[in-house]
Amino acid sequence: MCHSQDESSDLSELVIALAIVKHRNPTLWNEVISNYVCNSNSVHALSKSAKLQVSDGTSAAKKAQGNASITLAHVEPYLYKYVLSGSSGYLDSVSQFLNGHRLRFRELVADLDKVEALTSDLPNSMISKEIAPNYKVLKWLCAVSSPTKERCFTAVHVVQTFQLVLVSYYAFSVDVKKTVMDVCQGFIYKFIKLEVVGFGSSNPRVIKLLRSHTSLDSVEVGHRSFNKLCNNHIKLIILIVKIFIHKERYSAVIDIVGFVLKVIESLVVCLIKLECPSNSRDTRRAFEDIYKTRSTKMSYKMVTEILNASHHLIVGEAVKRIKICLEFCLTLIGSLNLRATFGDNKLRGFQFLQEYRQYILSGFLTLDNLELTTKFLHIAWPEVKE
């Protein structure tokens, strides 16, 4: 599918280029056409040969990547302290498992018993003192460009090893209430507040790791880095929730979805306060009335904390980072395919959804951001029937 899209894009660019040549330089255009007609057989043969070479090269690369395996003991020295610790035995087992699997639910679902066994006897203290703190730093490896393909491949493998340990632990080994709490408060809210909005120069462990990884004295963490960070970190949360859905732990899923909706609402309010601090209109539209009514009843705890976390940023930068966080939350909700997941017999406790949708939509419309509003409306929400 990807190759087809790339070829279509290349063809479109070629057509545009030829049209420009024909319009601006008819003489050159006639020469090109003449040469093409005279040498069509040669061109066809050359094109076929080139395609065969590209195909063979791509296949070889895929085969090499598919057969490649990584041993944590052989990673580069700057990663030693993360992978050669007290938890190295567990990490090695997970690393070996990942050498034969991709970190995707549809590829792991057939081996969930093996995923569960990966942390069946892992001490809780090892998660809190080693795995989780190290993952908090290591996930930044996926936010910057690597100097070589080999280093990139190793970095992704190391990060995914830690992710799968956390997936196994939170999906199978601990109480569901603890999983919901840690996913909501740690992997979602604190990640947004402290690691994206609140990220600054006071993150020496992250900066030091990125310098070692990129072999650069100075590393710039910009919007592209935050987007890449979110796109990789979200895989951890999605896997945990999808395993809960597979195990029919619907109450926990509802709790997590409900929390994400509250975060979305708070982020929208943050943007409104930063971009639309006052409304001088004499008359308001219906959605603005809904938003104003809701604003007198909602909790502002997260709004205040997120805005406080952004105080070190100029307004424009704070707005961009909060929008990245909104994209993160909307992508998370959209990836769960809630309409297919929750049938009529499982909708107890999901009745709040319609009400919350109305509140959030009124906020998006008040914000007047077409892109974010459209993405929110495209989410396939379950239909709640009376």
pLDDT tens digits, 335-357: 998 888 776 555 566 677 777 88
Q: What is the pLDDT of residue 366?
A: 92
Q: What is the pLDDT of residue 308?
A: 97
CA atoms of 202 and 306, how far apart (whole Å): 17
Tell me the two tokens of residue 115.
């995923």
Q: What is the pLDDT of residue 279?
A: 57
Residue type (1 letter), 31: E
Q: What is the pLDDT of residue 89?
A: 86
pLDDT at 329 over 50: yes
Residue type (1 letter), 260: V
pTM confidence score: 0.80
Q: Which residue has tokens 């093409």?
A: 36
CA atoms of 126 and 123, how far apart (whole Å): 5
Q: What is the pLDDT of residue 208?
A: 93
% pLDDT > 70, the chain: 77
Q: Which residue has tokens 């070629």?
A: 14
Q: How many helices (H) and strands (E) are present in the chain, helices listed first?
A: 20, 0
CA atoms of 196 and 143, how far apart (whole Å): 12
Q: Mean pLDDT of all residues in the chain?
A: 82
Region 137-163: mean pLDDT is 95
Residue range 246-264, pLDDT digits in tens: 999 988 999 999 999 999 9
Residue 337's contacts (CB-CB under 8 Å, 6 or more residues apart) are 380
- Element housing 24 (H / E): helix 2-24
CB 269 within 8 A of CB 295: yes
CB 141 within 8 A of CB 159: yes
Residue 272 CB: number of other CB atoms within 10 A?
20
Radius of gyration, alpha carbons of the chain: 25
Q: Which residue has tokens 């909708």?
A: 347
Name the DSSP class of 174. S
Least confident segment among 28-37, 55-64, 165-174, 284-293: 55-64
Q: What is the pLDDT of residue 29?
A: 46
Residue 101's contacts (CB-CB under 8 Å, 6 or more residues apart) are 107, 108, 111
CA atoms of 26 and 20, how far apart (whole Å): 10
Coil, helix or strand at residue 265: helix
